[in-house]
Amino acid sequence: MNSQHSGLSPQQAAQKAFVDQFEYQPQLLVYAPGRVNIIGEHTDYNDGFVMPCAIDYGTAISGAKRTDSLFRVYAVDLQQWDEFDLNKPIEPHPEYKWTGYVRGVVKYIQQKCPEFKCGADLAISGNVPLSSGLSSSAALEVATGKFCQVLGNLALTNVEIALIGQQAENRFVGCQCGNMDQLISALGQKDHLLKIDCRTLETEPTPVPHGVAVIIVNSNVKHDLVDGEYNSRRQQCEQAAAFFGVKALRDVSIEQFQQRESELTALDAVVAKRARHIVTENQRVLNAAVALKKGDLQQVGVLMGQSHVSMRDDFEITVPEVDYLVALAQEVIGDSGGARMTGGGFGGCIVALAPEEKIESVRKKIADHYEKHTGLKETFYVCHASAGVSVL
């Protein structure tokens, strides 16, 4: 969902399209942000720790209640329609993938709140770059969930809305993602990163130090996580947890891992590498939260660098273009911040934390070298940590 070409914000684009397409005034406008994960990659479905922030790119839904049970949905940025009936079983659309995020959420809201029966007309627009690893799908799921909650006056918390979004992605769309993306879209706080314990769902806001920018650079290597790589990483992590006799790799300390690392490597060297990434990455998130509270950006940068190396060598989810972007950014940032791959992997974006005065030199360094070296043109975003889902 992508309205960035029209010059309108997603909120404006959704409202305008609603009036144009449905020819009456909307009653409700909901907005949910995308996210970038600063550190803690693939730890969420291992019951671990993550530290994302919501960003100032997101998805808006403008809509109104109908008197029947039909959901009529217009995707502004794709100029595509979907229609389904709440009184019939909700199945995936035969060709449009985006509809799964809406249909799946509505289906699981109905399961949780059987009283939800009212149809609606919706216009959806967003400006989260697609296939970039910034969670356009979670923004759409959380916006849809919040829309239904307000429309039906349902007793759902934002955490429950986030978990319904995850359920839709896992069961309806078929990507075995964890709960991070939906939780940060639902719970984000302005000017803060959010340390999330993906097992207990406890959150701890961690301020972004003053004068520090969140830079996102899209490699424009497209990825699609529903393809087997993501799900196979998840299975490898489950195999490792079974080896250690625990519910999830969250329960394995670095010391415990090291004690049995050679034994696991002898059994399955790949599974051992995957486990090493998760166990060390969980600790890096905890260390980064402490460093950020002290305003120690140099230490945060060291941890981000270690995280990237671990994703490249142990989890094997980076691509050469992304590795190159991280190297270019890190060269300029030096020890005043850090850079790493962010998102599910196999393309997508890097994230950097850097002093605001370094933004332009990072931008220039990448513009001068990346396209020459890779044949792809990067997209450069400076983001601000933003609030989660809102009703406008």
Is the predicted pLDDT of residue 199 greater than 90, yes or no? yes
| Both structure tokens of 75 | 């995707």
Domain that holds residue 62: 10-208
pLDDT digits (tens, 9 = 90+) for 125-181: 999 876 666 778 999 999 999 999 999 999 999 999 999 999 999 999 988 788 899
pLDDT at position 3 is: 47
Angle between helices 229-244 and 269-293 (to 10 degrees): 90
Place of tokens 């019939």: 88
Which residue in 160, 199, 168 sits closest to 389, CA to CA? 160
**265 lies in some domain:** no
Detail the residues annotated as belonging to a binding site for ATP: 131-137
Which residue in 130, 132, 140 sits closest to 59, CA to CA? 140
Place of tokens 């990346």: 370
**170 lies in some domain:** yes
Is the predicted pLDDT of residue 54 greater than 90, yes or no? yes
pLDDT at position 6 is: 63
Phi, psi of 249 (to 5 degrees): -65, -15
Task: Assign residue 100 the CATH number of its domain.
Answer: 3.30.230.10
**In the chain, pLDDT over 70 holds for what percent of residues?**
96
Q: What is the DSSP string of 139-170?
A: HHHHHHHHHHHHHHT----HHHHHHHHHHIII
pLDDT band at 227 (very low <50, low <70, confident <90, very high): low
Is the predicted pLDDT of residue 223 greater than 70, yes or no? no
Is the predicted pLDDT of residue 226 greater than 50, yes or no? no
User: How far is 376 from 11, CA to CA, in rounded Å?
Assistant: 31
pLDDT band at 218 (very low <50, low <70, confident <90, very high): very high
Catalytic hit among 56, 181, 296, 314? 181
Lowest mean pLDDT among 37-51, 220-234, 254-268, 368-382: 220-234
Is the predicted pLDDT of residue 208 greater than 60, yes or no? yes
Strands (E), the chain: 28-39, 49-65, 70-75, 80-85, 120-126, 192-197, 203-207, 212-218, 338-342, 349-355, 379-383, 390-391
Contact 389, 142 (CB under 8 A): yes
Phi, psi of 389 (to 5 degrees): -55, 140
Which residue in 102, 106, 129, 97 sits closest to 5, CA to CA? 129
| Both structure tokens of 108 | 């699981």
**122 lies in some domain:** yes
Q: What is the DSSP string of 283-305?
A: HHHHHHHHHHHTT-HHHHHHHHH
**230 lies in some domain:** no
Is the predicted pLDDT of residue 4 greater than 60, yes or no? no
Q: What is the mean pLDDT of residues 111-131?
A: 92
Detail the residues annotated as belonging to a binding site for Mg(2+): 137, 169
What is the DSSP secondary structure assignment for residue 171, as one 8-state letter? I
Q: How many Cβ atoms sit within 10 Å of the Cβ of residue 334?
A: 12
pLDDT band at 2 (very low <50, low <70, confident <90, very high): low
Detail the residues annotated as belonging to a binding site for substrate: 41-44, 230
Q: What is the mean pLDDT of residues 318-331?
A: 97
**Whether residue 313 lies in the annotated active site:** no
**142 lies in some domain:** yes
pLDDT at position 262 is: 98
**253 lies in some domain:** no
Lowest mean pLDDT among 1-15, 34-48, 192-206, 369-383: 1-15
pLDDT digits (tens, 9 = 90+) for 176-194: 788 899 999 999 999 999 9
Phi, psi of 289 (to 5 degrees): -60, -40
**134 lies in some domain:** yes
**379 lies in some domain:** no
User: How far is 50 from 37, CA to CA, in rounded Å?
Assistant: 7
Number of domains forming the structure of the chain: 1
